[in-house]
Structure 1
Amino acid sequence: EHIRLCLEEQVNAEGILNGFEKYRFRHNALPELDFAEISLKTTFLGASLRTPFLISSMTGGSRLAGEINMRLAEAAERRGWAMGVGSVRAAVEREELAHTFAVRRFAPSIPIIANLGAVQLNYGYGPDDCKRAVEIAGADMLVLHLNSLQEVFQPEGDTNFGGLLRRIEEVCRELPIPVGVKEVGWGIDGVTAKRLREAGVAFVDVAG
């Protein structure tokens, strides 16, 4: 349903600008450098990237979603990007869906980021489930997504957000890999980012 909505419905923000429209790069007609000598290589939490670019968590859990993940993984591997998969919750609960998140075989060298909804930590999920999500995706890191508005607006949404910071801190402490937090479209303010950092979160994806 999420894929269909993105393909067929009006999902872009209207009348909201990001501020970049106010600026223009000044063209340098005489750069005095060799383009071949420019390197974009960097490291991200100990992982090497040929390009500082991330395909943030997208999809998984259905045949079409598995195909999308495969193609994204192949592109990321070719370009040396990092890649996150969509919420692996479906595969944690239904083993037959695991292959739609198992992108490591298509991207053997890049950083892969598994993904779970942070709110699930209030619905029976714990560090062991997070480790299982990482195993399914063949991931190097885990990101917990914050989607409170999504959950509130969905009739079947999970809306108990109480005490989540403490539970996120527990996951950060228990997992032997970097754990990050991402938002799904409305951004993360500085105060919240600071609280997450103090709880042990290794990276923040503002995602909007």
Structure 2
Amino acid sequence: MPISQWPQQERPRERLLQQGATALSDAELLAIFLRTGVAGCSAVQLARNLLQQFGGLAQLLSASEQEFCSYRGLGQAKYVQLQATLELARRYLACEVARSSVLSSPQTVRDYLQIQLQGLEQERFLLLLLDSQHRVIELNTLSIGTINAATVHPREVVKTTLAANAAAVILAHNHPSGVCEPSNADRQITGRIQQALALIDVPVLDHLVVGSGQSCSFAERGWL
């Protein structure tokens, strides 16, 4: 049955207007983006099929153009729209992060770093530089490694921090495997960076490891 024939209170668009976007499931939000389904399949059912096929929302959003367009009901136009939507989200979160102290909006910072790193095929190590009020100065990419590892030198972290006159930093990197659990190597390099920055009185506020649709915070684990 097409969505237009559903009871009005069950239609995704109407539900969003009445209850807000947070009340909708991933499939319902995706259905609004898709707008239409395919023959014999409503937009909501198509969205459910896509989420199942790709293994979840994070995997769908990070799919390559070829992977995305190979599924019936999708195409290059939809892929372009999706990438534009994701970039708008990145820029919106960047504005939100820059607007206030990271200590007053930790979830926004987490969302911002997660969307920067989500779905990358290579490991990337980021340095978020903060001023004395813990407001963002800039986001710096320290290293782009292989699919298994990135090489980060503490001296480069110190050099970059001094050049930006930063008063505090947040580290972040992704695991292309999708598993966000920090490795022993992650903990070791974090300790080395923390020790190096301590020499110039700059604290490491957190180190976020991003996996597939989830992340792990060193600060929350009590490791910093």
* Higher share of residues assigned helix: 2
TM bracket (short chain): 0.3 to 0.5
TM-score with structure 2 length normalisation? 0.33
TM-score with structure 1 length normalisation? 0.35
Task: Choose 1 or 2 for highest CA Rg.
Answer: 2
